[in-house]
Structure 1
Amino acid sequence: MGIKNAVSKTIAYAKRNGAKAAFFAAFERVSDNFRDKYKYQPLGKDVLEEQRQEYKLLMQAGNCVRFSIVVPLFNTPEKYLKEMIESVIGQTYGNWELVLADASMSSSDIAQEYADKDPRIRYYHLGVNRGISGNTNAGLEKAQGDYIGLLDHDDLLTPDALYEVSKVIRKSMKTNKLARYSDCPLRLIYSDEDKYDDNKGVYYEPHIKPPFNMDYLMSNNYICHFTVMRADVIRRLKLRDKYDGAQDYDLFLRACGEAALTMPAAGNQIVHIAKVLYHWRCHRGSTAANPASKTYAYEAGKNALLDFCTKNNIAADVESLQHLGFYRINYTEDFFNSRKDVGCIGGKLLDKKGRICGGIYKKDGSRVYDRLPEGFSGGPQHRAVLQQDCAAVDIRCISIRPEFIPIFEDITKTSYSDSFFAAGVNDSYFEAMTDEVLMEMSLRFCEEVRKKGFRILWDPKVVKRV
């Protein structure tokens, strides 16, 4: 990012959110730049050749999963169109079809030439522009694969993208002893991604995503690219044009919510591949390069999230946070009645210097966002200020589903009082304990909750100073 662009973005941010928030955002951005040592490392030719040979053996054995890659085209620059198509042709896993749904006024000679040369490429000139959702849905109608992936018309797949997704599907099929891909329990698979600077030819800002996290998804579209869905699921749900600009977010919310808001918690239906398989191209006017270029998309995202809450009987309103594309759900009625999948909810603990000293823990007991100042959001994805599922929350700032109160009292040896939605009456009792004892109690209790198939939700807006 150039200095002039950075300054203008900081000024705009300050006007929206205030000088203090702008200071923290700018300082955080500088810190991220110093820490960012990312360099995309393409796979070596020998590794890619091994994948191609493995694919050949799979084809000889038969029963290879077939992928459809659906791309809505609209006045796509020739350079971007060629590079996008070549990134699909270059896949080490070859059982795919590329469905190009073109809503441009004139048909594309380039796309047609590719389709004439490779029968796996199918080009359709729609003749009318139905919007991003309508154009994509037209492509979905033509797709014939077992799983369908979505690719933007100016972005790129890594050569191993479909190979890695096929590995995950094959593993699930083998584990569940299945023969038909339509019976595979995996409904959605997503990977890490990075951005590609179209002018400098460099890759930067990797988005290293967590394993599936429903409440984090309800805070922002962290799934994004590269996403592949089982064909019957995506064809049934389709994209909805009233959420154009956030149509993929609306789709992912509905696809994941069907599985995740009931027990068990979607662990065998939604899978994350911890590898960069998608390059999000940045050029002038693109959302990747300049998020403010499509502010309407973030309003559409907010509306999609509000609709999701309504359809799932979650009594709440949705507010946009100071960072574009990030949201907060404010529950307006009894929390546990709205969120029947959540066993307990906890807040953020701050020390006397205003730094995070607890509240959210990993399974090993380590504190997440430890020593991060209260005003910092936690990096480009702002996870430190977002509601999210976690392994454990702190028993000093917690609200518990009624059926788990006896377990809490057995572990802590004290009576339960809600310390999340109300002032805690057990503060003096817990003050006498060491951090290690408090952490162990928090882990033990939350593990019992998770064993029953319930989520643990962390809400950083609720703050307790210790």
Structure 2
Amino acid sequence: MGIKNAVSKTIAYAERNGIKAAFYAAMERIKINSSEKYSYRELSEEVLREQNQEYRLLAETGDAVRFSIVVPLFNTPEVYLKQMIDSVVNQSYGNWELVLADASEKSLDVAISAANDDPRIKYYHLDKNAGISHNTNRGLEKATGDYIGLLDHDDILTPDALYEVSRVIKKSMQKNKLSRFIDCPIRLIYSDEDKFEDEKGVRKFFELHEKPSFNMDLLLSNNYICHFAVMRADIIKRLKLRAKFDGAQDFDLFLRCCSEAALSMDMASGHIVHIDKVLYHWRCHRASTAANPASKTYAYEAGQAAIADVLKSNNINGEVVQLPHLGFYRVNYERGILQERDDVACVGGKLVNKKGRVAGGIYKKDKTAPFKNMPVSYSGGLQHRAVLTQDCYAVDIRSMAIDPLYKDIYKDVVGIDYVDTFTDPKADTTALFTGMSEDEIIDKSVRFCEEIKKRGKRVVWDPQIIKRV
């Protein structure tokens, strides 16, 4: 995105967090940039034809889900607007409508022409610009689809975006033997994304964002869902966007949509689905938030307020603070996460070795440790996952606190009485686990957390709690 932009971002970071923190952040960024080899691979025309043929067969039976893509417009540059519209028109899946809610002072000729050419494109010139949330809600009112997707006016969809989303919905409908899309348990679907910029007519893609499966605590740390997001129509029309969170209106929407399922049910299984494929290209230009996060600092304050609001709505007491990287947050629970959250039964911290590198603390199903050997001063890449509280497969018994209800299970798996090694700084892990090898400790940690998850409870990793090993 250019040397000038990188320098300005580094200076701004230093002003917020100090020179030392900025130095480590810059070093990490340099390492990331030097190792990035991402390039988006366009689908072949043959593949897109096959997808379209599959759609046509489905449409003949009347079982094709209808999508509404809602786009609020405001003084959108013609070239960006045309590219956005073309990305929808060129979808391999055909049962869609594009709802353009235009708050520009003058009607946009490109949008009017597109609506005249394709009856699936609905153009509405609004009587006033009442802000992003209100303008989008006006578009939602006009949407008639079974599921509704949100698209920014200068971004683009991949040609297989709606096809891939339709496959997820179809699979759920068949599994649950349903006939009405309003009965489908899936309330939100989101995909991976990347960024792009046009340089002299050449489109360059970069910064792939590969997202995890639904992760409630990660969502309470950052709007990792972002683009492309599609929501069941009745839910998004009920929730709507709220103007008091303008700047983070989509984040607020996702938080409310997900918390309805995830904080009132155990794991939101089958309600929120991730497609591990890039379906959305986020445009970068000088005025965009993607290229210059500091250009919309008010948005991050709105995001902070949105998290606080969802906590309050769920009777969870906690303070939301902003982390050094813009758009990333932390919830400091008033009585601790185990006391404030009924859905969480186990929490663990970060293990750091004598060399100042991550030694473990968080584990995947295969018992590997993400971020292992990474300098503790690093944040974990462009999405800063190494410093964000998040749901995980397992945490380490050397830095673990559990709900007292599971003490007996802990003793059965670990072989000793439970001791809180997470909140008690005096807990001597060396003495507690004498005779256990590193592999045995990790194995017991994973097996215990698996037992917790079998009971429908969350295991959460809190990287700000550091245990030296």
Q: Same fold (TM over 0.5)?
A: yes
Counterpart position of 2:131: 131
Partner in structure 1 of residue 103 of structure 2 = 103
The one-letter amino acid paired with 1:259 is A
Q: For the Cα contact (< 8 Å) 2:5–2:292, is it kept in 1?
A: no
Give SS of 1:396's match: helix
Deviates more, 1:121-130 or 1:3-12: 3-12
With normalisation by structure 1, the TM-score equals: 0.98
Q: How far 1:230 moved relative to its partner?
A: 0.2
Opposite residue 455 of structure 1, the aligned amino acid is R
CA distance in 1 between counterparts of 2:443 and 2:165 reads 37
Alignment: residue pair count: 466
Tell me the equivalent position of 2:462.
459
Q: CA deviation at 1:68?
A: 0.2
| 1:221 alignment partner in structure 2 | 223
> Contact 1:417–1:426 at 8 Å: present in 2 too?
no
Structure 2 distance, partners of 1:24, 1:53, is 51
Q: CA deviation at 1:425?
A: 4.7
Alpha carbons of structure 1 residues 335 and 8: separation in structure 2 relative to 1, 3 Å = closer
Q: Does 1:312 align with 2:277?
A: no
Q: Which amino acid aligns with 1:35?
A: S
CA shift for structure 1 position 263: 3.0
In 1, distance between residues paired with 2:336 and 2:92?
51
CA offset at residue 333 of structure 1?
1.8
| Secondary structure in structure 2 of the residue aligned to 1:68 | strand
The one of 203, 214, 223 aligned to 1:201: 203
Per-residue Cα deviation, 1:92-119 (whole angstroms, up to 9, x for no partner) = 0000000000011111222111111111
In the aligned structure 2, how far is the partner of 1:97 from the partner of 1:54? Answer: 19
Partner Cα distance (2:92, 2:171) in 1: 18
Map residues 187-266 of structure 1 onto 2, 5 A cutoff.
Answer: 187-199=187-199, 201-266=203-268
Q: CA deviation at 1:360?
A: 0.4
CA distance in 1 between counterparts of 2:108 and 2:39 reads: 34
8 Å contact kept, 2:334–2:340: no
Residue pairs, 1:283-362, within 5 angstroms: 283-362=285-364
Question: Could you tell me which residue of structure 2 aligns to residue 279 of structure 1?
Answer: 281
Q: 1:124-153 CA distances to partner (integer Å, 9 max, x unpaired)?
A: 001111100000000000000000000000
SS at match of 1:57: helix
Q: How does 1:43-54 map to 2 (within 5 A)?
A: 43-54=43-54
Give the residue type in structure 2 aligned to 1:445. Answer: F
| Residue 433 (structure 2) pairs with residue 430 (structure 1) | yes
Q: CA deviation at 1:4?
A: 2.7
Identity %: 63
- CA deviations 1:203-225 (Å, max 9, x no partner) are 11111111111100100000000
String of CA shifts for 1:162-216, please: whole Å, max 9, x gaps.
0000000000000000000000000000000110113352111111111111100
Per-residue CA distance 1:6-58 (angstroms, 9 max, x = gap): 22221221111111211111111111111110011000011011011111111
Aligned to 1:72: 72
Greater shift, 430-439 or 419-428, is seen at 419-428
> How many Å separate the matches in 1 of 2:447 and 2:24?
35
Shift of residue 420, structure 1, vs aligned partner: 1.0
Query: How far apart are residue 427 of structure 1 and its match?
Result: 3.7
Off by >4 Å, runs of 4+ in structure 1: none
Q: 1:357 to 1:431 in 2, by over 3 A?
A: farther
1:149-168 alignment runs, 5 A limit:
149-168=149-168
TM-score (norm 2): 0.98
Structure 1, unmatched stretches of 5+, are none
- How far 1:426 moved relative to its partner? 4.9
Contact in 1 for aligned 2:337/2:344 (Cα 8 Å): no
Residue 267 of structure 1 deviates from its aligned partner by: 2.0
Of 353, 364, 367, 2:366 maps to 364
Equivalent position SS for 2:59: helix
Report Cα offsets for 1:58-99 as digits up to 9, x if no partner.
Answer: 111222100000000001111111111110000000000000
- SS of 1:223's equivalent in the other structure is coil
Following the alignment from structure 1 to structure 2, what is the Cα–Cα distance between the partners of residues 217 and 133?
20
Structure 2 letter corresponding to 1:230: R
Q: Partners of 1:427 and 1:178 in 2: how far apart?
A: 55
Asked whether the equivalents of residues 212 and 271 of structure 1 are also in contact (C-alpha less than 8 Å), the reply is yes
- What is the root-mean-square deviation in Å for CA atoms of aligned residues? 1.0
Partner of 1:4: 4
Instruction: Find the aligned partners of 2:226 and 2:57 in 1 and give their Cα distance.
Output: 32
Aligned to 2:58: 58
Mapped contact 1:196–1:281 kept (Cα < 8 A) = yes
CA contact (8 A) 1:104 1:127 kept: no
Q: Which amino acid aligns with 1:292?
A: A
Measure the CA separation in 2 of the matches of 1:28 and 1:133: 36
